[in-house]
């Protein structure tokens, strides 16, 4: 398929939109809505809109310019507090250009520094600033670290509180803001953002640069402001969707994500209209630390899901589902991250069922249940505080926000039936669209609009236990998969001493491989590991999920033959889900594994995003 000009492809989305009245999202003031990960005091003065005017400089690895903030202040408020992390502030003025007094508080390594600005009656403040090299949200890649090897690359990752390292604002999910951006980049590079592209091909400006302009008219949490700059090309998939990537992987990505228009249709049929205009996807270099990031209008994706069989497009369904749960209705604080991820994991499963049938959905649900049980066990059991849904921010064990949260919603679904549950959820998204939410708020809405005083149903659901207590309640619904049961039977035969050659993997997708490899006993002889590798081709697999699971097993047994391939893998892949378990396994192997981990990390570190660097450093420096 020929790559058309960006102007032709995106004409509808690029056309100037009518100026709309700015929507101001509410601020929740209940005790449960207090965000301990922000220094802002939004009840006194809050940001409603951000206008960025920035230059991207690859030589200095900085972004510099201005952020102009619209401020809504309570009567008598004298100051506003913003979140910053290692920003170099040069001046702050009001809408008339008058300088405003400000102080930059002491730095906290996690939260950064509070920027307190004296308002003096200002309704608008302009902060002139620059990010610093090593900004936590930004990864700068040299040409050699990209697929094309010819041009540099930059991308941001804002969740959870990283954007304060390149945007001075109130960096809390409960303080939703509209925004506009003008981004200037070197000629020959393309900038994309998580918003409507007003100038998709850019405009030439002074200094050999090109300016790209973007508008987000819906109020969003600040972590959803995202930027990428690189040698990027675009191909459409359908009228509402398309793919951005480096040219060398564009065709593969378009083929992999070919069902996305059907996914959008299925999602809308379930829970209401898609309210963000386009749903485009950006495939990033392998250093992207996550599977996907649900940035509005432009989902960021890892290339590790490009396996050629669409077996990992559940990641795309997940990020699409975030357009309702997370982006439309957002957890007010990170103590309630399950309202984002648990809802989305449940919704993702419903999209996959609509497209591919009940058994495909059952595979994912079965794996999620097993993952939930494993995470609870690893956290210390049912009494461990980190197994609560509503808890300390960042303290949830493993992926329990995703897995326990989705199991909770599936349990409600089976208790009341889809004929009641689906209309309820659709109404929930409508009632709270573009607003923050808390666990208490969700439960109150559930009781008002679904339970409606039915005490027997209230008792059956155990709502408060699911949300506020640790462990897995005894009414948890476990959906089982016939496909995975077949894998379990072959696994049992192998564990009983049968040959690896009896494990028939023809036509297997990622989920079947994971079921097998994750459930093999952790203690294996070198001969047995060699037999598995010879029979199943694990080391030479081209599936990043399969390789990670295999390396994890090999590390647990100090299986030396995989070390060269392991090193190549860890220096090529930067996705947290796939690499941090391997570093953790190496660290646990003491004098054998820790030197290997440190040697590989020293080599791989320059290609990792700061989020991954921090995660691996924490593992290696732990006692």
List residues with catalytic annotation.
319, 402
Q: How far is CA 423 from the centre of its chain?
A: 27
- Tell me which residue of 308, 202, 306, 181 sits closest to 245, measured CA to CA: 306
Residues 427, 270: Cα–Cα separation, whole Å: 11
| Contacts of 205-212 spanning 24+ positions with Cβ under 8 A | 209/55, 209/184, 209/185, 210/184, 210/185, 210/186, 211/182, 211/183, 211/184, 212/182, 212/183, 212/184, 212/185
Residues 6+ apart with CB under 8 A from 464: 443
The 3-state secondary structure of 442-458, one letter per residue: HHHHHHHHHHCCCHHHH
Could you say which DSSP state residue 169 is in? B
Q: Phi, psi (5° rounding) for residue 330?
A: -120, 140
Q: What burial letters (b/e) apply to 363-402, b meaning 16+ CB within 10 Å?
A: bbbbbbbbbbbbbbeebeeeebebbbbbbebeebbbbbbb
Q: What burial letters (b/e) apply to 530-549, b meaning 16+ CB within 10 Å?
A: ebbbeebebbebebbbbbbb
| Residue written as token pair 């009983």 | 496
Q: Phi, psi (5° rounding) for residue 187?
A: -55, 140
Which ranges in 380-453 belong to alpha helices (H)? 400-416, 418-431, 439-446
Radius of gyration of the chain (CA): 24
Q: Phi, psi (5° rounding) for residue 573?
A: -110, 135
- Tell me which residue of 308, 303, 298, 252 sits closest to 146, measured CA to CA: 303
Collapsing DSSP states into helix, strand and coil, what is residue 295?
coil
Relative to beta strand 177-186, strand 209-220 is antiparallel
Task: Return the C-alpha torsion angle 281, 287, 289, 295, nearest 10.
Answer: -20
């Amino acid at each position: 398929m020929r790559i058309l000009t960006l102007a032709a492809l995106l004409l509808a989305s690029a056309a100037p939109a009518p100026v709309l009245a700015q929507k101001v999202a509410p601020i929740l003031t209940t005790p449960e809505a207090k965000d301990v990960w922000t220094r802002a005091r939004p009840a006194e003065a809050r940001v409603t809109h951000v206008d960025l005017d920035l230059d991207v400089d690859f030589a200095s690895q900085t972004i510099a310019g201005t952020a102009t903030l619209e401020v809504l202040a309570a009567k008598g408020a004298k100051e506003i507090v913003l979140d910053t992390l290692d920003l170099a502030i040069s001046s702050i003025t009001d809408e008339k250009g008058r300088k405003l007094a400000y102080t930059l508080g002491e730095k906290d390594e996690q939260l950064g520094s509070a920027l307190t600005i004296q308002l003096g009656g200002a309704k608008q403040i302009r902060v002139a600033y620059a990010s610093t090299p090593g900004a936590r949200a930004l990864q700068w890649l040299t040409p050699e670290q990209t697929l094309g090897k010819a041009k540099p690359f930059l991308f941001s990752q804002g969740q959870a509180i990283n954007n304060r390292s390149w945007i001075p604002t109130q960096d809390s999910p409960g303080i939703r803001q509209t925004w506009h951006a003008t981004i200037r980049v070197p000629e020959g590079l393309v900038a994309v953002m998580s918003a409507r592209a007003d100038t998709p091909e850019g405009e030439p400006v002074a200094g050999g640069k090109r300016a790209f302009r973007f508008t987000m008219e819906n109020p969003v949490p600040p972590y959803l402001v995202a930027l990428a700059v690189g040698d990027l090309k675009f191909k459409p998939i359908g009228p509402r969707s398309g793919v951005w990537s480096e040219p060398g992987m564009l065709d593969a990505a378009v083929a992999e994500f070919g069902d996305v228009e059907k996914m959008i249709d299925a999602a809308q049929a379930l829970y209401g209209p898609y309210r963000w205009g386009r749903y485009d996807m950006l495939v990033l270099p392998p250093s992207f630390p996550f599977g996907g990031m649900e940035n509005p209008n432009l989902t960021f994706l890892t290339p590790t899901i490009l396996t050629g069989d669409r077996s990992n497009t559940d990641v795309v369904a997940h990020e699409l589902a975030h357009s309702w749960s997370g982006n439309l209705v957002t957890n007010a604080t990170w103590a309630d991250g399950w309202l984002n991820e648990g809802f989305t994991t449940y919704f993702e499963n419903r999209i996959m069922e609509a497209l591919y049938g009940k058994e495909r959905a059952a595979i994912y649900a079965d794996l999620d249940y097993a993952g939930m049980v494993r995470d609870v066990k690893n956290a210390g059991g049912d009494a461990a505080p980190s197994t609560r849904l509503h808890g300390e921010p960042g303290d949830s064990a493993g992926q329990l926000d995703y897995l326990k949260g989705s199991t909770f919603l599936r349990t409600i679904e089976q208790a009341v039936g889809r004929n009641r549950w689906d209309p309820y959820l659709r109404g929930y998204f409508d009632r709270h669209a573009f607003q923050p939410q808390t666990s208490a708020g969700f439960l109150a809405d559930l009781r008002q609009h679904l339970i409606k005083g039915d005490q027997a149903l209230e008792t059956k659901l155990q709502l408060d236990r699911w949300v506020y207590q640790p462990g897995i309640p005894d009414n948890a619904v476990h959906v089982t998969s016939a496909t995975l049961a077949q894998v379990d039977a072959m696994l049992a035969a192998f564990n009983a001493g049968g040959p690896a050659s009896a494990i028939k993997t023809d036509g297997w997708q990622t989920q079947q491989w994971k079921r097998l490899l994750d459930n093999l006993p952790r203690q294996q002889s070198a001969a047995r590991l060699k037999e598995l590798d010879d029979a199943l081709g694990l080391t030479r697999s081209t599936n990043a999920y399969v390789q990670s699971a295999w390396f994890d097993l090999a590390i647990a047994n100090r299986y030396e033959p995989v070390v060269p391939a392991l090193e190549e893998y860890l220096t090529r892949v930067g996705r947290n889900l796939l690499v941090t378990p391997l570093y953790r396994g190496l660290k646990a192997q003491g004098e054998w594994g820790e030197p290997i981990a440190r040697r590989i990390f020293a080599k791989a570190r320059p290609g990792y995003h700061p989020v991954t660097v921090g995660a691996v450093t924490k593992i290696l420096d732990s006692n």
